[in-house]
Structure 1
Amino acid sequence: MYSLEELVNRLGGELVGDGKVVVRRVATLDQAGEGDLSFLANPRYVSKLKSSQAAAVIVGPGARDLLTDRPRIVAPDPYLHFARVAQFFNPPEPAVPGIHPTAAVSVAIPASVSVAAGVVIEAGARIGEDVVIGAGSYIGRNCAVGRGTRISPRVSIYADCVIGQDCLIHSGAVIGSDGFGFAREKSGAWVKIPQVGRVVIGDEVEIGANTTIDRGALDDTWIGKGVKIDNQIQIGHNVRIGDYTAIAGCVGIAGSTVIGARCMVGGQAGIIGHLHIADDVVISAGTLVTKSINKAGVYTANLPVQGHADWVKNFAHLRHLDALVDRIRALEQRLEEKSSN
């Protein structure tokens, strides 16, 4: 537990009210109770702020004086400040250095590394200080894992891949599996193209559960610094993702696509191969990207949900859209002819 005064001294912000108030955790406005610290990130929820049982709140400058009797921390970005406080209250579970007797480790590793039961680390791998490797994970030959990276149970990292410092890789992730590369014979049979590139992952990257990142065919697949990748995402071979881009769940990115820095890709979006996405692009959930995007902005290409009967009726009109366009053009031509006579 910490007093508001201690939190402000450690994490910044402006303290308004009684700094001696002690909080023990962070919670939403709805769920907060005695000893909880909550936050108001959206002015629409001011009514919830007034009825909340939170002991104190984090607010923006515009909401500084909305409450007169409750202690608060004023921060330029309340949600960002909440994230920092939440990290402070919930640090990663400390790891116990050492190698479990059932692990198979073929290289020398620093004494600060924690290797759990059933881990396999192949010859030539390089493991940095303070790395944590969860039970049943596999680190292939000649891989490099940077200082402070945490690998959850049952992660597979194929040979030659590079993981940066302070990364977090969740269970079931597969990094460096073969990209989908084949040539076709006249008979229809497929000839596999060896995938000889690597996956290179920058510092402070988070990779969600059951996400797959394919190794490059010839060049490397590259994930920039601070990229955040959600669960169940497929990233094809030779994809390059710029620094601080965030990608939500179930996105598919086909091979050789280049995504810029600070982009956001919504859940279930799809990006076909060999495209270029500029910096600072936002792709809405469910959008299928079929051509390059060369300018920052928000892009959407999907239909909002509607009743089934309405969808059937509207789709029936779409089926006849070409004919309707032809009729309109014919009418426009007739009008032009009449106006010219």
Structure 2
Amino acid sequence: MSVMVMLTQIALPVLLLVWLAWFPARGVFALGVQALSVAAVLFGIGLAALWTMPPFWVPYIYYGAFAVIVVCHLWQGRFMGNGLWRASAGQTLLVLFALGLGCLGGYMAYLAYQGRALPAVETVDIAPPFGPGTYLVAHGGSSAMVNVHLKTLDKAVERFRPWQGQSRALDIFRISPLGIHKSGWLPSDPARYSTFGTPVVAPCNGEIAKVVDGREDMPVPVMDREHMAGNYVAINCGRFFVILAHLRKGSVTVSAGDRVAVGDLLGEMGNSGNSSEPHLHVHAQRGLPEQAAFGGEPLALTIDGAFPIRNDRIRVAEPVVR
């Protein structure tokens, strides 16, 4: 995974920007195709990829560099005159290859942007399920390009049916204000991730319906396929249930039947279950089937009225002490 991230989120954007800056195509139309193709790739990766490492602000550097390069070409008159297409055969092949990448990038950007729309299903609103800090949405939104959970909506796939309740779930990391969420490139110790041990609090008033604890926190990137949800708490919020999963072993502070209010401590974020690295999984569903707790009717989820999608940052302020 780290190799793929380096190729798609670092190497490819940098190479395309260097190519556009130092090897501009000759001819107005050729240069225009080259510039638009690079822009489409940058926006496609920027909107669709998960920006944790590199952090969320890196795409804005790419956008800024692209703007500077285009302005320089305009200043030098490369977009005026000089014929429509005077690129060499080799450069023409590169431009056409970039055009193919640009079409793919544009399609990715389109699908990612579609994910920003609130889906036409029942939506419930909750308070932030965590305390003060800065958090980044890893998976969230209404398209599969930005929310991997949506694949479990396919009822034709038998193995998805017990998990359909989490089809519109959110996966959330805790990050620093600068977007850093771990110490090192790919540490195996979950404690080296800032998410690990972060308090999880009740996002609604209700009653604890189910608690699972005792599952081990896995070393990164090992995942527990036998106990997919890991440690979790399910809350009956009245009209719906909220489930918070992948909690830290031994951190759960509530039991079934307990009454909780918004902000009450439930446990800590961990790395139990089918978790590639420490994060909080949260989703809302109708019902809580006894044999398949994650198999209820999936509901869309907003947090304080906002519909979180991939790469959105959620900031929870410290309470004002009077």
TM-score range, shorter chain: under 0.3
TM-score for both structures, normalised by structure 2: 0.21
Max Rg structure: 1
Structure possessing the higher relative contact order (Cα contacts under 8 Å, 6 or more residues apart): 2
Which has more helix, going by share of residues? 2
Which has more strand, going by share of residues? 1
TM-score for both structures, normalised by structure 1: 0.20
